[in-house]
Amino acid sequence: MAEVGLKAAAVRLMVREMTRHYISFRDASKEEYEAIFQRAAHFKGLRRGGKSLYPHLAGRAVGMIFNKPSTRTRVSFECAINELGGHPIVLSSGESQISRGEAPSHTARVLSRYLAALVIRTYEDQELFDLAESSAIPIINGLTNQKHPCQVLADVFTLLETLGEEPLEDQLIAWVGDGHNMANTWLEAAAVFGFGLHLACPPGYGPDLAVYKEAVADNPKIKLFESPQEAVKGARAINTDVFASMGQEKERAKRLKDFAGYQVNAELMALASPKAIFLHCLPAHVGEEVTEEVVESPASLVFEEAENRLHAQKALLEFFVPRL
Ligand code: CP
Ligand code: NVA
């Protein structure tokens, strides 16, 4: 019996070690992203043609844990899972035993026996690493304080759709505003794809230093600025995010003051490339980090970007969840 137990433990370890997780944007290579984007375009074409069903997850369930609010991530993943023939199971904050302190190693081992993958939106990346350590199914980051890879996946896909034949690595992308989860993830994307990235953040609100240093080591075209006007000069895309993210509500008044001058408005857009597009992960606080004029302008791709979450995440699930 002891020998059988040891074998089972060895198999469990092997499955765990073979399982790939998507916690940071760096968890896939440039070549893998190229394949994922091709499939995302295929899924988008199918759906636009009225054919949304594809059976990759047929008969299987994907779990989603939300410890923070969500509109796009929740609905786009629910639709993606359904349209791949799977069944989404959503647990909001406080609904699972995690909120009562069940060990991540137990939660991950139990959920691995039911689910094909687990999407989780929470506070710290470490919570995902703790689950991943014991998980035999992919753990997919649906946003943490540090990262938002599923969003940047859709953003880069949107950018590629716009660029057509223009090479991605020749572009300059500008980030204006808070150096939080979105900015960190754009840094990782710049490291993976090699495009230029200029970030303009107010003093004290820069990106995570370790993420920045690692990204710059791989891509010297990444630069930090204080002046949004300097950062956006000639940029092919200007990208921003709210000044106070989820979990920072108490800092909102101070942040509104500290971020004065970091609004994306028509004057700032005019300093970028004449072909510049505007990106925002949404939800937006219109009138704070961006003006209504910019959100509603022809340069704004924010709703296309939101739609692309669905197509890109279908491709991501297909790539990360092995077919049975
Ligand atoms: N962009 C994004 O992740 O939106 P939600 O917070 O609505 O999921
Ligand atoms: N930075 C924002 C992104 C929302 C999608 C937040 O974390 O609230």
> Which is catalytic among the residues 39, 178, 241, 263?
241
pLDDT of residue 324: 85
pLDDT, tens only, 7-46: 766 765 666 678 999 999 999 999 999 999 999 999 999 9
Look at the chain and report how many structural domains it folds into: 2
What CATH number should be reported for the domain holding residue 105? Answer: 3.40.50.1370
Q: Is residue 173 part of a domain?
A: yes
| 118 — pLDDT class (breaks 50, 70, 90) | very high
Q: Which residues pair with 120 in a beta bridge?
A: 65, 141
**Whether 135 and 180 share a structural domain:** no
Q: Answer yes or no: 248 catalytic.
A: no
Is the shortest distance between the CB of 281 and ligand 1 below 6 Å?
A: yes
pLDDT of residue 1: 58
148 alpha carbon to ligand 2 midpoint, in Å?
Answer: 8
**Whether 91 and 155 share a structural domain:** no
d(CA 218, CA 70): 32
Question: Which residues have a Cβ under 8 Å from the Cβ of 221 and sit 6 or more positions away?
Answer: 172, 190, 194, 195, 196, 197
Proportion of the chain above pLDDT 70, given as a percent: 96
Substitution site in 70, 153, 245 for ligand 2 pocket (most atoms within 8 Å of beta carbon): 245
Q: Answer yes or no: 106 catalytic.
A: no
Q: What are the E-state strand segments in the chain?
A: 61-66, 87-92, 117-121, 139-141, 172-176, 196-200, 222-225, 237-240, 277-280
**pLDDT for 93 beyond 90:** no
**Whether 51 and 97 share a structural domain:** yes
The whole-number average pLDDT for the span 293-311 is 98
pLDDT of residue 280: 98
**Whether 182 and 301 share a structural domain:** yes
**Whether 20 and 37 share a structural domain:** yes
**Whether 161 and 214 share a structural domain:** yes
Domain that holds residue 301: 150-306
pLDDT of residue 7: 72
72 alpha carbon to ligand 1 midpoint, in Å?
Answer: 4
pLDDT, tens only, 159-217: 999 999 999 999 999 999 999 999 999 999 999 999 999 999 999 999 999 999 999 99
143 alpha carbon to ligand 2 midpoint, in Å?
Answer: 8
* pTM for this model (two decimals): 0.95
257 vs 93, more confident? 257
**Whether 41 and 108 share a structural domain:** yes
**Whether 80 and 41 share a structural domain:** yes
pLDDT, tens only, 231-242: 999 999 999 999
Q: Whose CA is nearest to atom 1 of ligand 1?
A: 281
**Whether 279 and 302 share a structural domain:** yes
Q: Is residue 4 part of a domain?
A: no
For 222, the 3-state DSSP assignment is strand
Nearest ligand 2 atom, CA 143: 7
Q: Is residue 3 part of a domain?
A: no
Residue 71's identity, in one-letter code, is: T
**Whether 32 and 103 share a structural domain:** yes
Residue 258's identity, in one-letter code, is: D
For 184, the 3-state DSSP assignment is helix
Q: Whose CA is nearest to atom 7 of ligand 1?
A: 71
Q: Is residue 255 part of a domain?
A: yes
Contact assessment for residue 183 and residue 246, using Cβ atoms and an 8 Å cutoff: no
CA 116 to chain centre: 20
Is the shortest distance between the CB of 282 and ligand 1 below 6 Å?
A: yes
Q: Is residue 5 part of a domain?
A: no
Is the shortest distance between the CB of 237 and ligand 1 below 6 Å?
A: no
Q: Whose CA is nearest to atom 3 of ligand 1?
A: 73
Identify the CA nearest to 77 among candidates 65, 93, 67. 65
Q: Is residue 99 part of a domain?
A: yes
What is the C-alpha R_g of the chain? 20
For 54, the 3-state DSSP assignment is coil
pLDDT of residue 53: 86
**Whether 299 and 165 share a structural domain:** yes
| 309 — pLDDT class (breaks 50, 70, 90) | very high
Is the shortest distance between the CB of 246 and ligand 1 below 6 Å?
A: no
Q: Is residue 139 part of a domain?
A: yes
Q: Answer yes or no: 150 catalytic.
A: no
Please, what is the average pLDDT of the chain? Answer: 96
d(CA 305, CA 238): 13
Contact assessment for residue 294 and residue 280, using Cβ atoms and an 8 Å cutoff: no
Substitution site in 74, 242, 251 for ligand 2 pocket (most atoms within 8 Å of beta carbon): 242
Is the shortest distance between the CB of 46 and ligand 1 below 6 Å?
A: no
d(CA 164, CA 169): 13
**Whether 113 and 143 share a structural domain:** yes
pLDDT, tens only, 124-163: 999 999 999 999 999 999 999 999 999 999 999 999 999 9
d(CA 318, CA 153): 14
Q: Answer yes or no: 151 catalytic.
A: yes
Q: Does the bond joining 138 to the residue before it have cis omega, within 30 degrees of 0?
A: no
Contact assessment for residue 137 and residue 112, using Cβ atoms and an 8 Å cutoff: yes
The whole-number average pLDDT for the span 47-61 is 94
